[in-house]
Each structure stands twice: as structure tokens, then as C-alpha cells.
A and B are shown apart, each in its own frame.
Chain A
Amino acid sequence: GDSVTQMEGPVTLSEEAFLTINCTYTATGYPSLFWYVQYPGEGLQLLLKATKADDKGSNKGFEATYRKETTSFHLEKGSVQVSDSAVYFCALVSGGSNYKLTFGKGTLLTVNP
């Protein structure tokens, strides 16, 4: 079945540091890939997505590139802010999963001033 593996946290960075959160996947066919973000006390929000190989999703300074050859979708940001502190979830949806979103376990990011 489909699965998503993302790096375990927590990740603690200083403001303006570079961020990478690794995500790899196993899926049937050609999945669509997503990063969701969950701020404290809130539900998940879509951060960015990519629907085919070599696509780059980007939003709010975050980027991730769909790499089919390495089955990866790593999240990056060049300069993090305190307001980026949240839990980040990598996810996929594929036809093989009957269109259900499969989530990774989440990575807690804390950014200190």
C-alpha cells in the first residue's frame, strides 16, 4: 500500500536558518504530493503541492520538488521565521489508494528568535 516517511523531529532552528524536512514515499502509479502545515491549536492547511514529476510546489517561501527517481518531496525554506513554528506533514494521494490522502507522521519545527 501507499506510505509516506518523513524525518522525525523535533527540528529546532534559529531565525533565518535554512530548513530542510525530508519526505520519501511509496505509492501505486503516479501520486500527487502535498505538504500540509498545522499551527498550534488549529487544523491542517495545505502549504504546497505538486501533481507530476519534476513539478515544484511553492508557497510562503517554502518549496518542494517532486522527484520521481528518488521518490522524494523534500520541503525547503531559505530563511525561516518564528512564525513558521508548526508541525509539517508530507502526504500523497494516488488512484491506488482510492483517492485517500496518506500522511506522514509529521515533523515539529520550532524556530527561536
Chain B
Amino acid sequence: DAGVIQSPRHEVTEMGQEVTLRCKPISGHNSLFWYRQTMMRGLELLIYFNNNVPIDDSGMPEDRFSAKMPNASFSTLKIQPSEPRDSAVYFCASSLRLAGENYEQYFGPGTRLTVT
């Protein structure tokens, strides 16, 4: 199994540009999560989907952030326009389901975003 796949691994962009991060969850997993990790704030959940439907986007910092999951094998997190304070590592994770005894989230390797 390839695990959760994220692209790109590194992104450097200028302030004001649009940034799109991509995620392919593990095949057969029904839930997908987007996290942001910074030194100051630690690991923050931005949004999660279940069966391609956004369940909770209360962690999305502002309207500049949007996420979609058009099908079970692909999700995007978009920042438009980007700002230097958006610089962080963004992780995507997937799980088979949202609860249960064998509940586990599998994380991708992350995308390191730098906005100059």
C-alpha cells in the first residue's frame, strides 16, 4: 500500500499567490483530515471529510482557505491569496472510519509551504 500521498512536498510562493495542496488518501478509507503544523501553534485540525462530505471546517483559519474532496481518492486544500503567516507544514491524513476500536489516522509526509 502506498500510504497517504501528498503533493507537492515543498512549495515556495510569493505573498498573494494562490496555492493548491493535494492529497490522495489510502484506498478504501472513508475519512480524510487536513492539519497544519507550526512551531507556535503545534498541530491544528483544519477540516475533515467523511464519505467526501465536509463534516467540520471550524478549524479553517479564514475565508482564504478552502478544501474540496470531489471523489474518494482526491482532496485539495487551497489558499487564495496566500500570506507569509500561512507558512507551515500541511498534513493530510485518512482513516477507514471515524470511530471504532481499530480507529487510526494514517498521515501523509506533509507539504512544507513557505510564503515569502
Contact = CB atoms under 8 A, between A and B. Distances in A.
What range describes how many residues of B lie at the interface?
Answer: 20 to 34
Given A42-B109, A43-B107, A49-B104, A89 B99 contact: no
A73 interface: no
A101 B45 contact: yes
B12 interface: no
Nearest to A98: B56
Contacts of A34: 104
Interface of A: 32, 34, 36, 41-46, 49, 51, 89, 93, 95, 98-101, 103-106
Q: Which has the most chain A C-beta neighbours within 10 Å: B43, B56, B99, B101?
A: B43
B91 A44 contact: yes
Interface string B93-116: 100001101011111111000000
30 contacts: A32-B103, A36-B107, A41-B109, A42-B109, A42-B110, A43-B4, A43-B91, A43-B108, A43-B109, A44-B43, A44-B91, A44-B93, A44-B105, A44-B107, A46-B104, A49-B104, A93-B99, A95-B99, A98-B55, A98-B56, A99-B98, A99-B103, A100-B45, A100-B48, A101-B33, A101-B45, A103-B42, A103-B43, A104-B42, A106-B43
